[in-house]
Chains A and B, each alone.
Chain A
Amino acid sequence: MISSVFGVLFDGFAYGMLLFILSVGLSVTLGMMNFVNLAHCSFAMLGGFVTVTLTNELGWPFLASLPLAFVSAALVSVVFERVLYRRLYRASDLDQCLLTIGIVFVSVAVAAYIYGTIQQPLNLPSYLRGSVSVWGQSFGVYRLFLIAVSIAITAVLVAALEYTRFGAKVRAAVDNQRMARGLGIDVDRVFAITFALGSGLAGLGGALAIEIVGLDHAFAFTYLIYVLIVVAVGGLGSIAGSFVAASLLGISDMAGKYYFPELGAFLIYFVMVALLMWRPVGLFGRR
């Protein structure tokens, strides 16, 4: 019983870390520009398909394909940002929702056209497979790897935001966009770079997600809801909030599936609605 609780906590935490990588970029960009980007998971899906193509078709090692998943998602997102998104920064929530949901539809259709509607296989290298046993408790190696990667990313993100000049600009723009403009910060530029980095992280998350949750053409839709829950519950523009919300969501989802399988996803939707009614700006949100 104790070991099953521990196993659920571990798997749930690893799953939560995955959700964190997928959603942290959206949280920061939403906090900065209030732009509702429902297509965030399309960039994640792109990263996933880049990794699948590189490892399966071209024989790249899995670890080497991860940076490329990051870079390609970041580059594509910048193109979208410059061509489409920037026209709608001052438009209503509804218009932003519609534009980005349109992009999700298109990306899902394109993925189905190129890759078909099956789950994509992925050959992990042997050193990431299997599990290690510590004190009679077995841990999946890949999940340990996932947790290590996400904690490293969190550390880098927090350090970059707290201690670099660019991070200071980002914080200023999230806190008060107009004031930041008034002080001579080029918010559009800061936003474009942040957007690219966030989408790149999503791409990386998409690549890392294949082993845990699988990858198919509908990924952009399926995980959109989870990512939105993390962002809305954690609070806009808050890395700590996203971290806590993603861990909570991952663990409660895993626990719900393990202990109350008949309830399905009912539990997490209920938790989300209840949390939002209690704190509409999220756990760590300020506005």
Chain B
Amino acid sequence: MVTSSAALEPQRYLETQIRWRPVEIAFWLATLLPFVLTPNYLVLASQIAITALFALSLDLILGYAGIVSLGHAAYFGFGSYTAGLIAKWGWGEPLTGLVIAAAAAGVLGYLTSFIIARFRHLALIMITLGLGLLLAEAANSASWLTGGADGLQGVRMWKLFGVFQFDLYGTTAYTYSLAVLFVCFLVARRLINSPFGLALRGIRENAIRMPAIGAPSRAHIRKVYTIAAVMAGVAGALLAQTTETVSLETLSFARSADVLVILILGGAGRLYGGLVGAIIYMVARDQFSGINPQYWYFWIGTLLVAVVIFLPNGILGGAARLVRLGRSRA
């Protein structure tokens, strides 16, 4: 009897995790507020949703499986260029374009995941960095295809569902990005609160012990890496479709570093970490856009040092600790 109740425990744990909490519902309702409160900032809001999706995809591999990647922009940019090129070549339908871009990024992710799963530590960091740089250089060299440093011009999107035009105010863009983000979030949430998600956390904690208890680390890493690549590709495709242009910057090291910073600020290994990080980072950057970007990086750098030293689990981790402290006092 004891063994059966012990076997039930992880299942119960997952069941309690999968239940929607009021805070979560409030969070997603609040994402609708920009339509009412700040209708002039919907373009920014759609950028935030895209960045949040990108951070969420990094969270899957970094926060849960413990794979440190300095080249995650490779999949973002690949999805972005795929979606942009399809639209440029005359198929401007957004949803099918999104699916094709996601599939393309997924294939790239699946192929590279065989490399990623073999390495850890410094070699892994360097290989992700190298692959990212490799792809950025390739896109730069193939200017006949990508437009090189000038960016991809001539991307024309059709109306969403044949009805909603992508307008200057970003109403369609934000609705579209937010809906895609929500769907991807549901997928990620289901994935994390499954036995597979638990196995990923096990790999993060001890990659050598996991195979010993019957969970194949490398196969799991390949799966989650491919899924994360698909999501990053979707985020990139959204950016290409809503802005109707693609630049080399989508593949750059700066974008990989930015998304890492965003995720760490918000809190890695928490589903909402990337989302909260994206909101804070993008709003702050928009507010400070008047000052020189060089000085913006001064504050980001200071913040990073402070977070690593004082808030090891990011803003959400710090908030959770405060809540726990408050409860234990009460």
Contacts and interface: CB of A to CB of B under 8 A. Distances in A.
Nearest to A221: B253
A108 B304 contact: no
B294 A117 contact: yes
B294 A101 contact: no
Given A105-B298, A236-B122, A265-B137, A99 B308 contact: yes
Contacts of A277: 115, 118, 127
A272 interface: yes
A254 interface: no
Contact of A228 (B129, B138, B309): B129
B18 interface: no
B199 interface: no
Contacts of A281: 123
Contact of B130 (A105, A117, A269): A269
Contacts of A46: none
A109 B126 contact: no
A225 interface: yes
A99 B309 contact: yes
B86 to A, nearest CB: 25
Interface in A9-24: none
B133 A269 contact: yes
A26 B307 CA distance: 24
Given A97-B68, A101-B257, A265-B137, A232 B297 contact: no
Nearest to A112: B294
Majority-rule SS of B interface residues: helix
B131 interface: yes
B119 interface: yes
Majority-rule SS of A interface residues: helix
Given A232-B122, A232-B123, A232-B126, A103 B294 contact: no
A125 to B, nearest CB: 32
Contacts of A212: none
Interface in A233-283: 236, 262-266, 269-270, 272-273, 276-277, 280-281
B44 interface: no
Which among A101, A107, A262, A272 has the highest number of chain B CB atoms within 10 Å? A101
A30 B123 CA distance: 13
A106 B298 contact: yes
Contact of A99 (B118, B260, B304): B304
Contact of A276 (B127, B257, B302): B127
A44 interface: no
A134 interface: no
A224 to B, nearest CB: 10
A269 B137 contact: yes
B309 A264 contact: no
A266 B140 CA distance: 10
Interface stretch (A63-71, A87-95, A146-154, A165-173): A87-95
Ranked nearest first, the 8 interchain pairs of A and B with the lowest CB-CB distance are: A105-B301, A102-B304, A109-B298, A106-B301, A112-B294, A280-B123, A266-B137, A102-B305
20 contacts: A93-B122, A94-B264, A97-B125, A98-B260, A99-B304, A99-B309, A101-B257, A101-B301, A105-B297, A105-B298, A106-B305, A108-B294, A109-B295, A225-B253, A229-B126, A263-B137, A265-B137, A266-B138, A276-B127, A277-B118
Interface of A: 30, 36, 84, 87-88, 91, 93-95, 97-99, 101-110, 112-113, 117, 217, 225, 228-229, 232, 236, 262-266, 269-270, 272-273, 276-277, 280-281
Given A109-B294, A109-B297, 13 more contacts: A93-B125, A101-B257, A102-B301, A106-B297, A109-B301, A110-B298, A112-B292, A113-B295, A228-B129, A229-B130, A264-B137, A266-B141, A281-B123
